[in-house]
Amino acid sequence: MTTKADICIIGSGAGGAPVAYTLAKAGYKVVVLEKGSLYDERDFKKDEIAVSRRSLFTPDLKDEFHMVETLDEEGKITKEGGWNFWNGSMVGGSSNLMSGYFHRMKPNDFKLYSAFGDVEGANVVDWPIDYETMEPYYTKVEEVVGVSGKMVEHPFREKRSTADFPYPPTWEHPIAKWIDDSCSKLGYFAMPTPRAIIPYDALDRRGCSYSNLCGSYGCATGAKSHAKSALLDKAVCTNNCTIIADAFVYKIESEKTEATAIHYYDKDGSSHTVQAKIYILAAQAIESSRLLLNSKNSHFPNGLANSSGEVGKNLIFSAGGSGSGRLDFKNLTQEQQDSLLLHGAFVNRSLQDWYEYNKDGKPYKGGTIDFLFEHANAIPRALDQVYDINGDLQWGKTLSKNLHHAFERSRVITFEVFNDWMPTDNCFVTVDEEEKDKWEIPVGKIRLYGHPQDLKVGNHLAQKAVEVLKGLGCEDISSNISAAPPPNLVAGGCRFGTDPKHSVLDVNCKTHDLKNLYVTDASFMPTGGSVPYTWTIYANSFRVADKILERLQNNV
């Protein structure tokens, strides 16, 4: 079966949805192909077992997997399968499962090379666009997709075209004031954390229900500003957008200068074709590179749109890590204990005091610290009590006492650190011709490597976060900054730039090689900034959508 449309979009997350929304509203026929299934709010029950023990929204790794190469201490390559880099294989993509921490990138994030210079062993470059170009689209995401928060003065506050966020902060826990006080005593500037969650009914969606089960969970009200509720549902309502779920795209067909068709398998294994004027690839950074490399033909023997040899190169994740401390009730007043037992409200506090800093006479790009409570899911919290600090199994009265203390007599405050993952020659994705998925398509082969500077900066930030926890009176404080990649924060592989020899995409995210193929997921990013990627992916996709709309309207 062949379907025809004006625009065909591969992937339905933050990279694809703004294009579908913009062009469907403008009257163009859009087809969106999504490998995962279609869910709605009724499917997103807060089922802890389904998420924690059964991985309901993760593909079965026996059928779909990645091969991963890592370097040991001697520089030898170890290859293994079974790694999970799937996050949100469903309509709306991983935005369904995000926690919704939304920070804009800063002006110097767009010119990392110019602002901080060369980093030995890293492939640092400036973006071909600047913050001023992206600013109107960050604002558009706030208004159209929905971002809540409150602007306050802090050392690295970016310039805005509006004075504040369109929605006030979500309900804040009393611990937020404790963090404010701890930071103030240290001379730090605590700031409310912007969230892609609307606090009350708006944008034809319901407000937050304050279950606190956000990260790794779908939203049961639509308050979370994920791609489906915020954009795709509205695109479908125009009658110009068709979403085809359970559609695994296995090949992009092309001639020498343009893509000509998309081929996909449905859930029964039958092959179908979509033909369009313009094609948008937004399948997630690893999968987008994999698809281009698997779509090689006589015109592109090394992979589609890969005349530069750069497809899959300079893969980046988010560097950093996390830490925690326990507030034990034995050290607190009854009033403080009662306030800590309040559940549902958000911590919503961040620090960006060290977004840039100097150490030993050298300027460094720093990052962001977000504070939060340990995840509300009771299962991992309970499992943490099963073994003691020596690794010995606990049971009976001892385990019961540990559980009571963990749930009723203390509360754990945690922090997450986000800093730049330096792009290098040793972090990339190719395809593994020996290993095939359930559709008999070569799987992605991912080389993982974290640059030493990533750890250096992450540890610098973690030390600052630990000081805040100490100021709160926390015990059992720990932090873990590592080179392990977070599977839900991946970018790069199809850099945009002005030189076709050293980039895959042009400044508008159109492939240099093919005049009608664009890539709008996080693949385009040459560097990632020191914040979660989703807001920037949304903003850039709206920017590219405007460029495509202008092109269609001018029949170019």
Least confident of 44-58, 114-128, 458-472: 44-58
pLDDT tens digits, one per residue of 245-275: 999 999 999 999 999 999 999 999 999 999 9
- Candidates 193, 146, 142; CA nearest to 172 is 193
Q: Measured between alpha carbons, how far is 505 from 128 in angstroms, rounded to an integer?
A: 11
Question: Positive or negative, the Cα torsion across 138, 142, 148, 153?
Answer: positive
Task: Find the range with the poorest average confidence among 31-35, 38-42, 90-94.
Answer: 38-42
Residue 66: the pLDDT is 87
Residue 65 Cα distances to 13, 55, 432, angstroms? 20, 14, 11
* Choice between 155 and 229, residue whose per-residue pLDDT is larger: 229
Domains of the chain: residue spans and CATH: 2-553 (3.50.50.60)
State pLDDT tens for residues 408-423: 888 999 999 999 999 9
pLDDT, the chain, mean: 93
For residue 15, what pLDDT band results from cuts at 50, 70 and 90?
A: very high
Q: pLDDT of 282-311, one tens digit each?
A: 999 999 999 999 999 999 999 999 999 999
44-76 confidence digits (pLDDT tens) = 877 777 766 666 777 777 788 888 888 766 666
Alpha-carbon distance of 241 to 264, in angstroms, equals: 18
pLDDT tens for residues 197-253? 999 999 999 999 998 888 888 899 999 999 999 999 999 999 999 999 999 999 999
Which tokens sit at 325? 């401390």
In the prediction, which pLDDT does 411 show? 93
Q: Give the predicted TM-score (pTM) of the model.
A: 0.95
159 compared with 398, residue with greater pLDDT = 159
Q: Give the pLDDT confidence of 156-205 residue by residue, as tens digits.
A: 999 999 999 999 999 999 999 999 999 999 999 999 999 999 999 999 99
> Cα Rg for the chain, rounded, in angstroms?
23
Cα–Cα dist 511/534, whole Å? 22
What DSSP line would sit under 68-82, residue for residue? EEEE-TTS-EEEEEE
What was the pLDDT predicted at 73? 63
